[in-house]
Each structure stands twice: as C-alpha cells, then as structure tokens.
C-alpha cells in the first residue's frame, strides 16, 4: 500500500506568498523519491539499501529510491549561512508521486537518514508536522502546482547538466537584481527536472553535480554577493 495520492487540507495561499516576498532565494527540490509503503506491519520510507527485495517484488528499480539525496539537499539549504541570515524565503519539495510540501526555513532537519525517514513517513501520512514548542507547522503538504506560491516578480531558474547554457554561478548571481530568485534542483539519482515554467535552464559545471553540491554553489554565491559570512 503506497501513500501517494494524498489530498492536502485547505491551504492559505496568502500565507505562503507573504513568506516568500522580498529579496531572497526560494528553493524547489523536484522529483524527490520519497515514497511510503507498508512493509510488513509498519509504514516505511522506501530506499535502495533496506528495501531492494521489496522494490524488485513490486517491479520497481531499487536504484531510483534515494531519499538520501533529498535529505542531503535539505541539510545544505537549511544549514547554510544564507538561511541563517534569513535570506532563504521558502523551500518546497515535489515528490515523484507529485505530492507537494513546503518546509519552513526555520526547521531543523534531522541529521540522520533514519530519523529523516521517520519524519517523512509522519508528514506523508498526517500531512503536516508541527513544532514541538508551539502551534506553528514546520512542514505541510500543500495543493499544487508550486507556481501559485511563488512571487509574481520572481526569476525562475532550473538546473540541468543537459542544459545548453553554461554559466559560472558566482558571475550569474552577481548579475541578478534584487527581486526574488527561484532555483529548481533535481532531487533524484537520474533524470531531469520537470519544470517547463522556468525562465531558463542552466548548466553550472562541465561535470555532473550532486543536488547538495549544486545547492552549496548557489548559497555560497549569494553569501558572497550579500557579504554573509
């Protein structure tokens, strides 16, 4: 039994829009392989190491089940000085099953993949995660598409090794004006982002980069631009 076709609760789009206003960066992790299934008597987040036999039994390719990619990407976003300085305005994740959820940039993601997996199971089943010391929702499943939560005047940039336009990311960021910038980064082992609504797709290296390293390049470039140390 796979959790994938979940219907999110009513969502105040104005809340998301207000949070993402002003100069800053918005990250969207696209096509993240976060799939929950009942394995034995418990619900678990599927991964290639622990569930290879289960995945093969259900005609799925174990190599594609890499929740660690999304985990590492989120750690690099939320741990960055750019985020600690309040310049990351919003973070969204779209899963391979097309479930969309938002993450409050003030959230502290679990350090280990085991605890992260448990958190994702809870989120995808209960549709939200509340702060332990208050009523605020740190993570919540929201109704797509993600574009309706983005500022109207933002610049939308996708990343792909296959993109024709190659740039030096520090030079690109230095030339960006002060309107919000949305970066779409793939959170998968193999593939290409599905975001036809971006203004442009960029290639930032002659070598394939992990999502986490690509994000580190972006955050570092903005930290240099805005003198965040």
Written as tens digits, the pLDDT of the chain (229 aa) is 444 444 444 444 555 555 555 679 999 999 999 999 999 899 999 999 889 999 999 999 998 899 999 999 999 999 999 999 999 999 999 999 999 999 999 999 999 999 999 999 999 999 999 988 878 899 999 999 999 999 998 999 999 988 889 999 999 999 998 889 999 999 998 888 989 999 999 999 999 999 999 999 999 999 999 999 8
Two tokens, residue 81: 């000085």
Residues 6+ apart with CB under 8 A from 25: 82, 87, 88, 89, 180, 181, 182, 183, 218, 219, 222
How far, CA to CA in Å, does 74 sit from each of 81, 106, 163? Answer: 13, 12, 23
pTM of this prediction exceeds 0.75? yes
Q: How far apart are CA 73 and CA 188, in angstroms?
A: 11
- What pLDDT score was predicted for residue 222? 96
Strand, coil or helix: what is 120?
helix
| Ramachandran angles phi, psi of 33, nearest 5° | -85, 80
First to last CA, the chain: 47
Residues 34, 45 contacting (CB under 8 angstroms)? yes
What does the alpha-carbon distance between residue 136 and residue 187 come to, in Å, rounded to a whole number?
26
Residue with tokens 């995808």: 124
């Amino acid at each position: 039994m796979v959790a994938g076709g979940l219907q999110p609760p009513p969502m105040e789009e104005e809340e998301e829009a207000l949070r993402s206003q002003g100069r800053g960066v918005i990250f969207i992790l696209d096509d993240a392989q976060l799939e929950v299934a009942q394995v034995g008597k418990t619900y678990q987040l599927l991964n290639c190491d622990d569930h290879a036999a289960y995945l093969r039994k259900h005609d799925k390719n174990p190599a594609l089940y890499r929740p660690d990619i999304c985990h590492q990407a989120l750690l690099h976003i939320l741990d960055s000085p750019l985020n600690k300085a309040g310049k990351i305005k919003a973070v969204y994740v779209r899963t391979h099953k097309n479930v969309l959820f938002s993450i409050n940039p003030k959230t502290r993601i679990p350090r280990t993949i085991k605890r992260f997996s448990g958190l994702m199971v809870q989120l995808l089943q209960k549709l939200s995660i509340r702060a332990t010391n208050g009523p605020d929702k740190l993570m919540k499943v929201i109704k797509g598409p993600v574009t309706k939560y983005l500022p109207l005047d933002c610049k939308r940039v996708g990343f792909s090794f296959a993109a024709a336009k190659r740039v030096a990311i520090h030079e690109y960021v230095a030339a960006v004006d002060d309107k919000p910038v949305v970066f779409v980064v793939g959170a998968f082992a193999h593939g290409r982002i599905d975001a036809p609504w971006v203004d442009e797709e960029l290639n930032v290296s002659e070598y394939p980069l992990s999502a986490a390293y690509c994000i580190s390049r972006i955050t570092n470039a903005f930290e240099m631009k805005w003198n965040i140390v």
